[in-house]
Amino acid sequence: MSQKHPIISVTGSSGAGTSTVKHTFDQIFRREGVNAVSIEGDAFHRFNRDQMRAELKARVAKGDHTFSHFSYDANELKQLEAAFREYAETGNGCTRTYVHDEAEAEVWGAKPGTFTDWRRFEDGSDVLFYEGLHGAVLTDDVRIADYADLKIGVVPVINLEWIQKIHRDKASRGYTTEAVTDVILRRMHDYVHCICPQFTNTDINFQRVPTVDTSNPFVARWIPTPDESMVVIRFKDPRGIDFSYLVSMIHDSFMSRANSIVIPGNKLDLAMQLILTPMIQRLVERRRRIL
């Protein structure tokens, strides 16, 4: 936690929609005049694509079938924690980019499946914004969640998450359904052990729930649209959340528990803006007062 250099962390599995949610944050940052530096969880993978394949082969040969990008030890989580700590203390830090495909390769000048060099953040930012798989990890060794001032979970129900991952990985990363299915299966152990526990450490979770049949996600021809879904928004600490304001502003929303509201899927962007803008304003105002 840092009053001077706040950190916002958006955590979700692969295909959950964290990159999509980043657009909403970018809009809020732009409108509110907040200068944010962004980092991606992929930057903190331990291995590039070839090294990861070799490591997987070696682990399988030793009888370990659970190693994946979700595993804590497939990532430099100490380094991610150090990046959060350094930012909290000094307002700066280091990141790099994992290049997924040819389009990103053009932008970054590195081959798909490799990392760029490490680089320093730009000076003078108001907040650090993280988006990735491990932004709310809390273990005996690694205390990433402790450094983040606002932690958001993006967690579609699992069939929908798989549909989103399969479609994104096929459309923009060139994988087949079979290849993505293998990845989903291999990652399941650490989905349970490394990803799910983080959603008890987050301040707010956004859980998209389809209202159409997704019972066989591996043959779904398209991703259920916002109109074909609802979103459950759960607050860890509901004190200070003006639920009656939210329910009156978001047409057709309702409270399902004392700490949760349910909204139509096509109101997600509006709901995020209504909920997150005052929270971001508070973080930035507190920082500016101190400075």
Ligand X SMILES: Nc1ncnc2c1ncn2[C@@H]1O[C@H](COP(=O)(O)OP(=O)(O)O)[C@@H](O)[C@H]1O
Query: Binding of ligand X at residue 208 (CB under 6 A)?
Result: yes
Our finding on whether 268 is near ligand X (CB under 6 A) is yes
- Residue 276 or 284: which CB sits closer to ligand X? 276
Could you count the other beta carbons within 10 Å of the beta carbon of residue 231? Answer: 22
Asked if 14 is part of the footprint of ligand X (rule: CB under 6 A), the reply reads yes
Residues constituting the chain: 291
Q: Residue 20, interface with ligand X (CB under 6 A)?
A: yes
Q: Print burial letters for 21-51: b (CB count within 10 Å at least 16), e (below 16).
A: bbebbeebbeeeebebbbbbbbbbbbbbbee
> Does the footprint of ligand RUB cover residue 143 (CB under 6 A)?
no
Least CB distance to ligand RUB at residue 52 (A): 6
Nearer CB in complex with ligand RUB: 15/210: 15
Contact residue for ligand X among 71, 159, 164, 253 (CB under 6 A): 164
Binding segment for ligand RUB (CB under 6 A), chosen from 41-49, 117-125, 195-203, 283-291, is: 41-49
Residue (of 221, 109, 211, 205) closest to 152 by Cα position: 205
| Interface with ligand X, residue 68, by CB under 6 A | no
Q: Is 205 helix (H, G, I), strand (E, B) or coil?
A: strand
**Amino acid identity of 259?**
N
Exposure class string for 52-74: b at 16+ Cβ within 10 A, else e: beeebeebeeeeeeebbbbbbeb
Helix (H, G, I), strand (E, B) or coil at 40: strand
Pick from ligand RUB, ligand X, none: which does 96 bind, CB < 5 to 8 A by kind? Answer: none
Residue 98 in the binding site for ligand RUB (CB under 6 A): yes
Instruction: Considering only CA atoms, give the Rg of the chain.
Output: 19
Binding site for ligand RUB (CB under 6 A): 14, 42, 45, 49, 69, 98, 100, 113, 133, 173
Binding site for ligand X (CB under 6 A): 12, 14-20, 164, 167-168, 208, 223, 226, 268
